[in-house]
């Protein structure tokens, strides 16, 4: 049974926003619905081509005598110079992309994958065609010895599915049924703007993943926000089997049931590995989140004192907006494709990724510091809950990551109060 909610002011706050003690109404109907779904369920990226070769322009064609022709000559040369520079930049960019592509191909085809080298190349982002394998390796789901990949993953998938029927049949306690009921309320609200997560079979898979995880981890159980954490894994692992950007996929009927079962099992095990590093974010009273929010406030006092002073003057407590940032890891602040890019870096960190996450949250605040300092409390809440990131590109996100990494390098090793005695 979950401990009684006596977590003081924070515990009361958590209870009021519905993060603790999920509702238990209609639990019997939830059980029947879930069991019914279970019974029914059980019955290459095109690379850039080469550019055209730059052609040498004979100078004789530009030899003129009149001022008019001189101006034309200058204009034409300026245009040709600009085109040459642009094509040269594109060529260099393609060379970098090709070099990274070759690096990934070499690393992932090695008999034994070198984790240090893999983290180094993944930190700056992973090409789509290599992301699925890379994430599984970075999380420790697949072993570094290549010849053991198939054996290990097959055993894990069988373990997930073989234990599932007994978990469903043993649903008896009020707590277990209340957890299921809350999951079934939250999953349909997950990423409502992404067509993929409105597909019934995908929602059913996410329900199963979350319920099995909560039953196998009774110290925390299910906490609202975990439903968001499943979506990047499902999107990344499904991507090799569909065409087009994953956030535009609306039909997976051509993906076989066996593949979908494998994806579901892989998501469960990778979610488990992922949450292991931030487990105290989801235990009673969520101390890991409290600690990060406290650190964020302390950090902002040092890197942007005027903003911190403004928030204090407006009586804006960091917990009122940063709780969601820490609980859902900015899943509701950034588009899915950008979340996936950020997670490339998170999973490649040598330190627990929650450390870098703290500085990314600070970088987001500083990015809009001047605007926020003109806002009063109601306007601030409206803005902070709907950050203008919908059209962000990878360059925008990488700018935030770079700034966060710089502050982490400057502050994390030198400021003792930003270090935790408890690792995440």
How much is the pLDDT for 7?
A: 46
The region of weakest confidence among 56-60, 127-131, 381-385 is: 56-60
Residue 94: domain span: 76-138
- Judge whether 3 lies within some domain: no
DSSP secondary structure, 87-113, as one string: HHHHHHHHHHHHHHHHHHHHHHTSSB-
For residue 188, give both structure tokens: 């349909």
Q: For the chain, how are helix, strand and coil distributed in percent, rounded to 5? A: 70, 0, 30
Residues 154 and 270 in one domain: yes
Other residues' Cβ atoms within 10 Å of the Cβ of residue 119: 17
Up-side HSE of residue 147: CA atoms within 13 Å toward CB? 1
How much is the pLDDT for 99?
A: 83
pLDDT of residue 182 exceeding 80: yes
Confidence band (pLDDT; 50, 70, 90) for 75? low
Residues 294 and 156 in one domain: no
CATH code where residue 414 lies: 1.10.472.80
Residues 223 and 347 in one domain: no
Confidence band (pLDDT; 50, 70, 90) for 20? very low
- Judge whether 59 lies within some domain: no
Confidence band (pLDDT; 50, 70, 90) for 39? low
Residues 178 and 264 in one domain: yes
- Judge whether 63 lies within some domain: no
Give the count of domains, the chain.
Answer: 3
The region of weakest confidence among 71-75, 199-203, 341-345 is: 71-75
- Domain limit, last residue, from 138, 164, 191: 138
- CA-based Rg of the chain, rounded to a whole angstrom? 25
How much is the pLDDT for 164?
A: 72
The region of weakest confidence among 50-59, 129-138, 224-233, 394-403 is: 50-59
DSSP secondary structure, 348-378, as one string: H-SS-HHHHHHHHHHHHHHHTHHHHTT--HH
Residues 220 and 271 in one domain: yes
Confidence band (pLDDT; 50, 70, 90) for 48? very low
- Judge whether 222 lies within some domain: yes
Residues 16 and 157 in one domain: yes
Cα-Cα-Cα-Cα dihedral of 123, 126, 132, 134, to 10°?
Answer: -40
- Judge whether 394 lies within some domain: yes
Distance CA 219, CA 2 (A): 7
Residues 153 and 30 in one domain: yes
Distance CA 128, CA 197 (A): 20
Close Cβ partners of 130 (under 8 Å, ≥ 6 residues apart): 104, 105, 108
How much is the pLDDT for 253?
A: 96
Residues 27 and 162 in one domain: yes
Residues 311 and 333 in one domain: yes
Taking the complete model, does pTM exceed 0.85, yes or no? no
pLDDT of residue 204 exceeding 70: yes
The region of weakest confidence among 108-112, 197-201, 228-232, 412-416 is: 412-416
Residue with the bigger pLDDT between 305 and 32: it is 305
pLDDT, one tens digit per residue, over 89-113 is: 444 444 555 688 999 999 999 999 9
Distance CA 254, CA 201 (A): 13
| pLDDT, mean over the chain | 82
């Amino acid at each position: 049974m979950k401990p009684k909610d006596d977590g003081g002011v924070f515990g009361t706050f958590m209870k009021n926003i519905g993060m603790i003690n999920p509702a238990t109404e209609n639990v019997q109907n939830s059980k029947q619905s879930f069991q019914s779904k279970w019974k029914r369920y059980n019955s290459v990226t095109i690379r850039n081509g080469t550019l055209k070769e730059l052609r040498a322009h004979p100078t004789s064609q530009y030899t003129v005598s009149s001022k008019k022709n001189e101006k034309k000559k200058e204009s034409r040369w300026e245009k040709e110079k600009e085109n040459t520079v642009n094509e040269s930049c594109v060529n260099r960019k393609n060379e970098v992309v090709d070099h990274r592509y070759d690096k990934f191909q070499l690393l992932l085809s090695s008999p034994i994958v070198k984790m240090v080298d893999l983290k180094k190349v993944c930190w700056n982002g992973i090409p789509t065609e290599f992301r699925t394998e890379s994430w599984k390796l970075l999380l420790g789901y697949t072993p570094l010895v290549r010849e053991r990949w198939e054996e290990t993953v097959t055993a894990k998938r069988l373990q997930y599915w073989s234990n599932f029927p007994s978990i469903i049949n043993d649903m008896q306690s009020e707590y277990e049924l209340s957890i299921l009921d809350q999951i079934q309320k939250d999953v349909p609200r997950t990423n409502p703007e992404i067509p993929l997560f409105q597909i019934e079979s995908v929602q059913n898979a996410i329900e199963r993943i979350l319920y099995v995880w909560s039953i196998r981890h009774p110290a925390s159980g299910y906490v609202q926000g975990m439903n968001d954490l499943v979506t990047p894994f499902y999107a990344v692992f499904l991507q090799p089997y569909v065409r087009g950007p994953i956030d535009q996929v609306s039909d997976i009927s051509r993906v076989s049931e066996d593949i979908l079962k494998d994806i579901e099992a892989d998501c469960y095990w990778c979610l488990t590995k992922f949450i292991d590093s931030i487990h105290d974010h989801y235990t009673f009273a969520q101390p890991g989140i409290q600690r990060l929010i406290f650190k964020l406030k302390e950090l902002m006092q040092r890197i942007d004192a005027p903003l911190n002073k403004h928030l204090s003057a407006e009586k804006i407590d960091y917990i009122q907006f940063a709780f969601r940032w820490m609980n859902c890891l900015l899943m509701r602040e950034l588009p899915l494709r950008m979340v996936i890019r950020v997670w490339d870096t998170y999973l490649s960190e040598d330190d627990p990724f929650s450390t870098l996450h703290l500085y990314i949250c600070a970088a987001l605040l500083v990015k809009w510091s001047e605007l926020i300092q003109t806002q009063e409390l109601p306007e601030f809440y409206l803005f902070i809950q709907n950050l203008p990131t919908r059209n962000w590109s990878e360059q925008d996100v990488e700018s935030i990551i770079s700034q966060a990494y710089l502050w982490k390098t400057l502050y994390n090793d030198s400021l003792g109060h930003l270090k935790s005695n408890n690792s995440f």
